[in-house]
Amino acid sequence: MSIRRSTMTRRAMTAAAITTGLVLTLAGCGGGDGGGDKTDKKSPPSTPAKQDAGGGQKDDDKEAPAADKVLAEVKGEESITLAVTSAVRDGGGFVTVSGKVTNSSGRFWPAANWRGEERELNKNGSSVAGASLIDNEGRKKYLVLRDTEGRCLCTKFTGGVKPSQTVDWYAQFPAPPEGTNKVDFQVGAMPPASIEISEGE
């Protein structure tokens, strides 16, 4: 009877020891990256949003649009201002010139004489079809490119330009030889605008 009782006591103590070991093991694992409440760990403070001088939130990702860079600007006939903002040589062997034209007069401007005097260009109406690039050093003149039907690769001022209105324009020309970057842009009776051609990407 005493042997049986001592055997049961030993089994009970062994079971208690195993249970205690398991509890301690689980308690040790609870402090790792696994589950469990991590209230003792401090999270880094969030960065406060930047504010401008007026107290509003400032967004660094939003920047004011950059103003167009003006390569040249000329004023001439009928209070017209012509600005050239870009002249880029492209890989296809042509140059694209673009800019803005402003009608500072108090009347409608049809841009009729900017289409050029060639008979083929008459169908282009109010446009910059009569514009040219002049290479003074190489003594060459480059006319606006056109398709097989005589339509220019350029802006057409449909309906002309209203008083105090500013409109965008562009014209494409054959590219001067490599190394020739300084040319004059001319259209109608406007003075020549000296520009520098930049290389496209």
Written as six digits, the tokens of 19 are 């249970």
Question: What is the fold of 72-199?
Answer: Immunoglobulin-like (2.60.40)
How far apart, in whole angstroms, are the C-alpha atoms of residue 164 and residue 12? 102
Q: Given pLDDT bands bounded at 50, 70 and 90, which one contains residue 131? A: very high
* pLDDT tens readout for residues 9-67: 445 454 444 444 444 443 444 444 444 444 444 444 544 444 444 444 444 444 444 45
Is the pTM value of this prediction over 0.85? no
Report whether 145 contacts 95 (CB < 8 A).
no
Exposure b/e, 103-123, CB count within 10 A at least 16 = b: beeeeebebeebbbeeeebee
User: 11: burial class by Cβ within 10 Å (0-12, 13-18, 19+)?
Assistant: exposed
Strand partners, 84: 72, 99
Q: Which two tokens stand for residue 154?
A: 């350029």
- Amino acid at the residue 56: G
d(CA 7, CA 181): 105
